[in-house]
């Protein structure tokens, strides 16, 4: 793709034309692998566009969701841009999301500080109730656009595809077979399709009302292609990337490892304090239920040390 920024574009990659329309300078990109992927992603979004309501575009405020946001505008498909507040979002991300035109910001029914005492344990790599309750909620009965990519993790490389349908596995597989769609089933029971054809489109049309149906138009994009695309369309994306961050997520996410968690808590000490207070309430709840807190879970602070890996007396889930 040409490196020059198209004229008329804002730092968000698209220029507001009216309340519901965007304009962009027609791309004069050279023929390349990325320009081919861009064209294919746009055609995919057009093919699977719901006829009765807009797409539900899952917008996290990260680089991948900026790409799908711009692609949806380029494709001219109707879409609602929805951001799920988690209550443990990095402040810079919250400010950035608020700066994006037409974003619908959805607040959760319960904050992280209420979920931790209710669940009786901190979120962990294996028990990520926070994702289900806070990050991945919403869009039920809608066709969703996500920025999931194979390059992000081994798990996503195995479980994701151009189209992914979760829920009612027996009926969805039966429908796919009846319509002659080429599909596979991932280890979580989700139906995955990698063809943007009429058969796959009909499967989505038949199933999306009762399942979680996701269109992943950049599933095969690399990190470098994501950044090249954003540069071309003049999108600076989340300012955290300019601070050296490779990924943008929640404060205290256990998937990033203990060292990164401690680094974040040093930068955002109020969030650390809120976690410790939530752990204190969690221990009170466990005591009332007669659950064993073990000798070293004596306070919210001790739980915090265990959580970030500073306590050598680590326990297993069987202990909980």
- Same domain as 110, residue 134: yes
Band (pLDDT 50/70/90 cuts) for residue 25 is very low
- Position 303 in a domain: yes
- Same domain as 272, residue 150: no
pTM of the model: 0.83
Residue with tokens 């139906």: 191
- Position 167 in a domain: no
- Position 185 in a domain: no
Report pLDDT for 20.
Answer: 32
Given a cut of 60, is residue 7 above it in pLDDT? no
Mean pLDDT of 176-181: 91
DSSP-based three-state secondary structure for 18: coil
- Position 133 in a domain: yes
- Same domain as 262, residue 304: yes
Residue 252 phi, psi dihedral angles, 5° rounding: 90, 10
Report pLDDT for 284.
Answer: 95
Q: Are 153 and 64 a contacting pair, CB within 8 Å?
A: no
- Judge residue 131's burial from the number of C-beta atoms within 10 Å of its C-beta, 0-12 exposed, 13-18 middle, 19 or more buried: middle
- Same domain as 307, residue 230: no
Report pLDDT for 19.
Answer: 29
Q: Are 15 and 24 a contacting pair, CB within 8 Å?
A: yes
Tokens (6 digits) for 288: 């009332």
- Same domain as 60, residue 120: yes
Q: Which region among 62-66, 161-165, 268-272 has the lowest average model confidence (pLDDT)?
A: 161-165
Angle made by CA atoms 74, 75, 80, in degrees to the nearest 5: 90
Report pLDDT for 13.
Answer: 60
- Same domain as 288, residue 235: no
- Same domain as 237, residue 95: yes
Q: What is the pLDDT of residues 148-163, one digit of tens each?
A: 998 886 666 676 789 9
CA-based end-to-end distance of the chain: 53
Q: Are 141 and 68 a contacting pair, CB within 8 Å?
A: no
- Same domain as 278, residue 231: no
Beta-strand relationship, 103-106 and 163-166: unpaired
Mean pLDDT of 281-286: 95
- Same domain as 24, residue 119: yes
Q: What is the pLDDT of residues 212-229, one digit of tens each?
A: 899 999 999 999 999 999
Band (pLDDT 50/70/90 cuts) for residue 262 is very high
**Size (the chain), residues:** 320
Report pLDDT for 314.
Answer: 52
- Distance between CA atoms of residues 261 and 56, nearest Å: 31
- Distance between CA atoms of residues 188 and 203, nearest Å: 19
- Same domain as 155, residue 304: no
Band (pLDDT 50/70/90 cuts) for residue 197 is confident
Number of domains in the chain: 2
Report pLDDT for 10.
Answer: 52
- Same domain as 226, residue 95: yes
Nearest to 142 by CA among 58, 89, 233, 208: 208
Q: What is the pLDDT of residues 105-136, one digit of tens each?
A: 999 999 999 999 999 999 998 898 999 899 88
- Judge residue 184's burial from the number of C-beta atoms within 10 Å of its C-beta, 0-12 exposed, 13-18 middle, 19 or more buried: exposed
Residue 317 is classified by DSSP as G
Inter-helix orientation angle 33-47/63-75, to 10°: 70
CA atoms in the 13 A half-sphere facing the CB of 124: 16
Residue with tokens 């695309």: 229
Report pLDDT for 23.
Answer: 34
Q: Are 256 and 249 a contacting pair, CB within 8 Å?
A: yes
Band (pLDDT 50/70/90 cuts) for residue 283 is very high
Mean pLDDT of 283-294: 89
Nearest to 279 by CA among 94, 102, 121, 170: 121
Question: What average pLDDT does the chain have?
Answer: 85
Which CATH number do you get for residue 63? 3.40.50.620
- Position 193 in a domain: no
The b-or-e profile of 280-297 (16+ CB within 10 A means b, else e) is bebbeebeeeeeebeeeb
- Position 77 in a domain: yes
> How many other β-carbons are positioned within 10 Å of the β-carbon of residue 165?
25
Residue with tokens 């204190």: 280
Q: Which residue has the higher pLDDT, 283 or 247?
A: 283
- Position 113 in a domain: yes
- Same domain as 134, residue 267: no
Enclosing domain of residue 299:
257-319
- Position 46 in a domain: yes
Q: Are 119 and 142 a contacting pair, CB within 8 Å?
A: no
Mean pLDDT of 72-100: 96
């Amino acid at each position: 793709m040409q490196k020059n920024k198209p004229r008329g574009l804002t730092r968000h990659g698209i220029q507001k034309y009216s309340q519901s329309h965007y304009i962009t300078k027609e791309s004069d990109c050279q023929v390349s692998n990325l320009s081919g992927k861009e064209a294919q992603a746009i055609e995919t979004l057009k093919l699977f566009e719901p006829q009765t309501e807009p797409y539900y575009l899952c917008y996290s405020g990260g680089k991948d969701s900026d790409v799908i946001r711009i692609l949806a505008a380029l494709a001219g498909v109707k879409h609602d841009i929805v951001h799920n507040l988690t209550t443990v979002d990095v402040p810079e991300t919250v400010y950035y999301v608020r700066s994006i035109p037409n974003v619908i910001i959805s607040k959760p029914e319960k904050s992280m500080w209420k979920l931790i005492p209710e669940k009786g344990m901190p979120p962990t790599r294996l028990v990520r109730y926070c994702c289900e309750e806070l990050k991945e909620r919403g869009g039920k009965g809608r066709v969703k656009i996500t920025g999931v990519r194979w390059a992000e993790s081994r798990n996503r490389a195995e479980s994701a595809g151009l189209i992914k349908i979760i829920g009612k596995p027996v009926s969805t597989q039966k429908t796919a077979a009846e319509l002659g769609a080429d599909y596979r089933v991932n280890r979580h029971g989700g139906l995955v399709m990698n063809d943007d054809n009429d058969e796959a489109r009909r499967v989505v049309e038949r199933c999306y009302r009762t399942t979680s149906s996701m269109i992943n138009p950049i599933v095969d994009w690399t990190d470098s292609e994501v950044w090249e695309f954003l540069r071309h369309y003049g999108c600076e994306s989340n300012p955290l990337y300019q601070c050296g961050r490779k990924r943008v997520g929640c404060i205290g996410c256990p998937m990033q490892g203990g060292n990164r968690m401690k680094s974040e808590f040093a930068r955002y000490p109020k969030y650390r304090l809120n976690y410790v207070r939530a752990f204190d309430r969690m221990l009170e709840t466990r005591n009332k239920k007669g659950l064993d807190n073990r000798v070293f879970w004596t306070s919210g602070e001790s739980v915090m040390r265990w959580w970030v890996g500073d306590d050598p007396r680590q326990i297993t889930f069987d202990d909980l």
